[in-house]
Every structure is written in C-alpha cells, then in structure tokens.
Homo-oligomer: A and B are copies of this chain.
Amino acid sequence: MSKVLLGPTTQIYPMPAFIIGANVNGKPNFMTAAWSGIANGEPPMISVAIRPHRYTHKGITENSTFSVNIPSIDQAKEVDYCGIVSGAKANKAEDCKFNVFYGKLGTAPLIEQCPINLECRVVHILKLNSHSLFIGQVEETHIAESCLTNGEPDFKKINPIVYTTEPSRQYLAYGELIGKAYSIGLEIKKEK
C-alpha cells in the first residue's frame, strides 16, 4: 500500500457530531462539535474542543457545566444548523424547536428530541492553541425509553449520526455489521 504525505492534519475516521449545550447569559444555547471523545472511565469523563471566541465557550466557562446531546439521524438538519449559526446571532433552541429541559446540574441544557443526553461538570480546561479542551465529568445520563431493549441502550434504536470531515463533509448512518468485538480477534489468537 503506497503512501503519500499530507503534513500535519486531523484526518480521523469516524468522527461524531454531538450537540453541545450550555447556558449563556441564562439562556440555553447549542453548538455542534465533532471534536469530542471519551477522556476517562472511572469516573466517566468527556472531552470537547471549542474555540475561545465561540458563544458556547463563554457559557461553559460561566457555569462550569455543559451537556453532550447525542443526536439520531432524525436530527441531522438540526445538527447541521447548530454548526452553521452562532448563538450570538440566533436563538438556536427556538429555531430548531428543541424541547429544552434541565437535569441535576441545573445549568446544562438538554435536548429532549436527542435520544441520549449527558450532563457534564467541568473538571479541567486545557488551553491548547486554537482550542480550549474542556474535560467534563459525566454526572448523569438520560436516555429515551424507546431506545432501550431489555433495559439496555440499543444502538439500532438510537440510530446515531456518523460525521465525515473535509473534503466530503457528510452525515451518514451506521452501516452493516463487520464483526463482534472481543470475538473476531480470537481467530488470530487461534491461528498462532
């Protein structure tokens, strides 16, 4: 497999498309973030990278809380809108007809239409260069009852969005099953 060099990039696949929520000046605001992932297991922590000039950055800094709203493909249009428009210029919750509610943290706005919502309390802010990396400890998980099977999350019911960055810039659904984890690798173990 012949390789070519692209220089320093953030070419990773897949990326998520989460809707990050924060109260700004006492009102709920939302932005789309693909630069987010799990940072710690016990206790659960999520990282999200946000540029300091963003309206949401101000809200997270104000309240030291934010939400991670996991959209399904049904919210793709809203995900995109929240990534295009600034909360400084529009009431995105209203424009997207989000039913906003609050959980135990009180200041992390949650989107009822998203199948999963994580309430996060900021425990670290790492000022990198272009972005601040917020590390939020997950204090509560809300999941749609309709997305459970036998009391457990069922990704086929959640129907999540996969985001693909430059140059294609697309939202996609999950595709076909390739294999079971902690299972297909055992074949290599046997082959040895």
Q: Residues of A at under 8 Å CB distance from B?
A: 1-16, 18, 34-47, 49, 51, 68, 70, 73, 76-85, 95-96, 112-113, 115-118, 124, 126, 128-131, 133, 135, 137-146, 148, 152-155, 158, 160-164, 167-189, 192
Q: Sorted from nearest, which 6 A-B pairs have the closest CB atoms? A: A37-B37, A80-B185, A175-B175, A81-B185, A13-B160, A173-B175
A161-B145 CB under 8 A given contacts A80-B183, A188-B77, A192-B95? no
- A133–B40 CB distance below 8 A: yes
Q: List 29 A-B contacts (CB under 8 A).
A: A1-B115, A2-B146, A3-B117, A3-B144, A4-B143, A4-B145, A6-B143, A7-B140, A9-B44, A10-B38, A10-B46, A12-B68, A13-B16, A37-B38, A40-B130, A41-B51, A42-B129, A73-B178, A78-B185, A80-B179, A80-B182, A81-B185, A153-B167, A162-B174, A170-B178, A170-B180, A170-B181, A171-B177, A173-B175
Decide if the interface of chain A is mainly helix, strand, loop or mixed: mixed
Q: What residues of chain B lie closer than 8 Å to A164, measured between beta carbons? A: 155, 174
Q: What residues of chain B lie closer than 8 Å to A153, measured between beta carbons? A: 6, 11, 167
Q: What residues of chain B lie closer than 8 Å to A43, measured between beta carbons? A: 8, 129
Give the docked Cα–Cα distance between A39 and B126 (Å). Answer: 9
A181-B171 CB under 8 A given contacts A78-B188, A188-B95? yes
Give the docked Cα–Cα distance between A178 and B162 (Å). Answer: 9
- B40–A112 CB distance below 8 A: no
- B47–A138 CB distance below 8 A: no
- B129–A7 CB distance below 8 A: no
Of A95, A133, A143, A177, most buried by chain B (CB within 10 Å of CB) is: A133
